[in-house]
Chains A and B, each alone.
Chain A
């Protein structure tokens, strides 16, 4: 079919555009590679087609994941766009006759439930796709039709009785008894969603608007402990970057100071004429870091992340002091220095640090006044202070003036906030008051931590006054 063949390059360009829209860097050379690769594989296998595109266009694990999502979305939309062309939809319309299935009896419905649960436990993609269609056809009358696809999906799931937690009240032969595997259920829901979108597009004779991928779609499935490894990797990168950038700085500033003694000594070889200048070696600036970490309940989910950041930082920097706080502040540098294991550390800190007083709510004002008296003499312009916290005062006095005094003593001050920027300064969040004295970053994923690391180690760091103005 010649028109189809001519369409392909245009389609691929559109696909590349879609990838670029999601932040994958696809260059012209990559596209040329993709075309070259496609000439070498057979297109009849979807797998080969997809892999050939993936290995030329997506060049990191994250890009690869985005690629899979965009590929599925793009191909789905491409197929649908053809399907809603008038002459095609009539032919396909016969297939949809299944939707007019007569009401199922309870027994048939029960059997359908069993088969779906079995397919989920089994995890076979093809069976799941077929059953998703069947389920929509069977349950469309009662469940679908709310107009919102997400609601329909949840209704169907509920009427099929699919849950991830075990359901001991069911008979032992029922595959749902031990709970449905989470991953399989997620895939099944995605299939339901695709099928519902498909039928909606057929009914409306046009495509729903393209939806950009959300942060949630893109995040790699991982638990908090897998994150710990990722955090360590980022911090290891930080150390590496600090090491190499230190070298660059040395290169630039090598000619700063002449070492007179060594120059004179070298001049003896040339009869007292100082031909070769000897320079004083420039000592690389060793970062001295003070970290202040909130461990209260309002940041419970984030504090594991923060503690792991602390843990990893301690592995990398020798001159570093750590503090944790809720209502009071407590130094935990020793704990990190004597313990290697993350689990023991977090246990020790929650047990022994003694940072909660009565209420267990964060009291930033008190923490900063305590910290100021603790560190007043130690802070100096070469020190870096990093605060990890959500800046939610629970209605207490923020005392931004005290924080300002601390920040003025330290060379650089950063604030990492585990909340999305959207929530800042809403409710009891007073990050705005503190932000006048430091640079605040939103930081709840390792990617954002990486951004922070880049900002922290950039050689031409803008002075604090500049950052304040921004």
Chain B
């Protein structure tokens, strides 16, 4: 994906999430994640992505990973 395409995808996601409450946004992101996973042909990359995203989401959260540095 080129930087321009990444831009497009990112802002499409922002646009789609506009106006959603927490419950809707959570379900929406779960759907996005599932569909992207099902399109991938590399399980190792998927598992690494899941792990990285979990670490990022936990940063600063109670019980989460300590901030880097």
Q: Do A and B come from one complex?
A: no
The interface of chain A, by Cβ under 8 A from chain B, is none
The interface of chain B, by Cβ under 8 A from chain A, is none
